[in-house]
Amino acid sequence: MADKSYDKQNPAYYALLVALVVMAVGPIAMMLMTSLKLNVDIMSDTSSLLFMPTLRNYETALCDFLWYEAPHIDYCDKTFGRALINSLTISLISTVLTLVIGCMAAYALVRFRFMGRDTVSLSTLAMRMVPPAVLLVPVFGIWTFQFQIDGTRAGIILVYVAMNLPFVIWILQSFIVQVPIQLEEAARMDGAGPFQVFFLVVLPLIKPGLAAAAIFTFRVAWNEFLLANALADRNSRTVPVTIVNSITEFDIDWGVIMATGMLLAIPPIIFTFVASRQIITGMTAGAVKG
Amino acid sequence: MQSANVNRATPYLFLAPAALVMAVALLYPIGYMIYASFLDWNPSQRIGEAEFVGLRNYINLLGDAAFRESFYVTLKFATVVVSLEMVLGVGLALLLDRNIRGMSVLRTLFILPMMIAPIVVGLMWRYMYHPSVGVFNRTLKSLGLDPIPWLSDGNWAFASVVIADIWQWTPFIFILSLAALQSLPQSAMEAARIDGATGWQQVIYIKLPLMMPVLIVTLLLRLIDAFKVLEVILVLTNGGPGLSTEILSLRISRTASEFRELGEAAAMSNYLLILLVILTFAMFAYNKATEARTARLRKAAEEDV
């Protein structure tokens, strides 16, 4: 925006803003603080903002990645480290696959127009409405008995790609529509085949759309719990699954669990700060454009 | 000749992977679920070994008090949460729609709660609701008040779950309504100001009616999502105490994993799906109706000229 003139507001307005920001960010800040506390500090009666921050909880959670001996760890529980690697692999691979497949489909739907936009937006909506809980029973049954890919990372990736495709196709469509067809025609005149046109001309032009789609897909795959819980075995568990497993125990180690929660929250937080504009575009595209 | 063939096949080549993946991992499971809902099936059986029982699962469910209770809890949760969030979200958008420095920073901070994992949201609220170390009860205690049984009393547990959801999702409505507000035609607002409309009159007669299409879509999107909430409640209360916070999604997953009744869980999923299909079609029909109306109005306006 070019105009730099801002309206002056009264102090109550700013007070409201501050209150809202505190409410929105407060719980996250509290989680961060707890994750930096020793259990003695967490349980002590005098809760305060004054405490010695320590990285011990993070060291406990990430013990198998440490390059030094942490003196307070007697026994290294590798569950979380393994889950972190699983989560990263599963989310990254499923994001890349979803984007490639979804992009091609969106392009075909826009440029070769053999299905109306209505069909696509209706099916997107239809898929958006299917709760993961509804997929739970059939996916568990099919993956276990028919495909026999239960307990593998590939199995989890397959569900995530399928779950995310409708939304990705739909959001990318709205970006591809805006690419001037003359550009593609010019490339074709110069002798480019359909795949060259797509990869060399169209893809670079829809980068913002790709960014929005990538963030949404990654976030769904990174945060998803229910299906991962049903499909994963000991070796393919993702971070949300390990977190839930460790809180059902009677005695909760708040410091460590908050550290793992924080580690799970960090990637989405980074995305939010880096690409909030794209996220908001992705979010509003759903409602404002219908 | 060959290149013409390639060109004709191109759209199918581009579409094939997506169609394949969705058919295998989305449509097939849904069809499978509909079939499974007519079976008496437990997780150790292959589906072929399960006995076909017709509509028994559906009928059993209707007679099952626990299922009816959780259906009711789901409806109550969705209604309460969505109406409170709509009021708060739209209200805040109207209040904060000013041209101020740092609005984009504000919006960034507000979308944080939606971006982080629902599991983590549940985790931090569970910590804050903790009877002795949680921040709420600590504050109450330091003010000399009695602690509140946030998660251990049925009514309070429901309220706690609602509060956590409001924290997480009000920003969604806020951001959508803010986007709608900022895309309103300036001329309408200016005309109202010149005619001497007060702030409230502008909101009620100009802004809200013009925002209505977006608001309805927002409402329905949020409503659909409210029926899908699972993780936050799972971490906070796991449906308890009693059945006070056991929403349908949670009950489906428990029926499948704890009670090992896959057929019944599938029938339950179908009930939930039917409910959502109705909502989605309402939304789509509404979209079509407004589009048709604007088209008609535009045509009428053009004919007048």
Does B305 contact chain A (CB < 8 Å)? no
pLDDT of residue A95: 92
Task: Please provide the average confidence, as pLDDT, over all residues in chain A.
Answer: 79
Domain span at residue B276 reads 68-304
A33-82: per-residue pLDDT in tens?
888 877 777 766 665 666 777 777 787 777 777 777 667 666 777 778 88
The ranges assigned to domains in chain A are 11-58, 79-288
Does B30 contact chain A (CB < 8 Å)? yes
Q: Is the pLDDT of residue B304 over 90?
A: no
A interface mutation test: which of B2, B14, B24 has the most A CBs within 10 A?
B14
Percent of chain B with pLDDT over 70: 96
Q: Cβ(A237)–Cβ(A83) under 8 Å?
A: yes
Nearest to B262 among A9, A47, A141 (CB): A141
> Cis ω on the peptide bond leading into residue B241 (within 30° of 0)?
yes
Q: What is the CATH number of the domain that holds B260?
A: 1.10.3720.10
Nearest to A165 among B22, B95, B283 (CB): B22
Residues of chain B with C-beta less than 8 angstroms from the C-beta of A17: 96, 106
B242-271: per-residue pLDDT in tens?
777 888 888 888 888 777 778 888 888 888
Least CA distance to B3: which residue of chain A? Answer: A193
H-helix or E-strand spanning residue A164:
helix A153-176
Task: Please provide the average confidence, as pLDDT, over all residues in chain B.
Answer: 82
Q: Is the pLDDT of residue B154 over 80?
A: no
Q: Which of left, alpha, beta for A113 (phi over 0: left; psi -120 to 50: alpha)?
A: left
B102 domain residue, yes or no: yes
Q: For domain A79-288, which CATH number applies: 3.10.20.30, 3.30.160.250, 3.30.70.3270, 1.10.3720.10?
A: 1.10.3720.10
pLDDT of residue B129: 85
Please give the average per-residue pLDDT across A12-28, as a whole number.
85
Q: Cβ(A197)–Cβ(A110) under 8 Å?
A: no
B interface mutation test: which of A109, A129, A156 has the most B CBs within 10 A?
A129
B61 domain residue, yes or no: no
pLDDT of residue B84: 93
Please give the average per-residue pLDDT across A114-127, as a whole number.
67
Q: Which residue has the higher pLDDT, A148 or A250?
A: A148
pLDDT of residue A94: 92
B87-135: per-residue pLDDT in tens?
999 888 888 877 777 777 888 888 888 888 888 898 888 888 887 777 7
Instruction: State whether B36 and A141 contact (CB < 8 Å).
Output: yes
Alpha-carbon gap, residue A97 to A162, rounded angstroms: 10
B122 domain residue, yes or no: yes
Please give the average per-residue pLDDT across A256-272, as a whole number.
87
Selected residues 230-259 of chain A with any CB under 8 Å from a CB in chain B: 230, 240, 243-244, 247-248, 254, 257-258
- State how many domains chain B has: 1
Model ipTM?
0.83
Alpha-carbon gap, residue A157 to A150, rounded angstroms: 11
Does A75 contact chain B (CB < 8 Å)? no
pLDDT of residue A290: 39
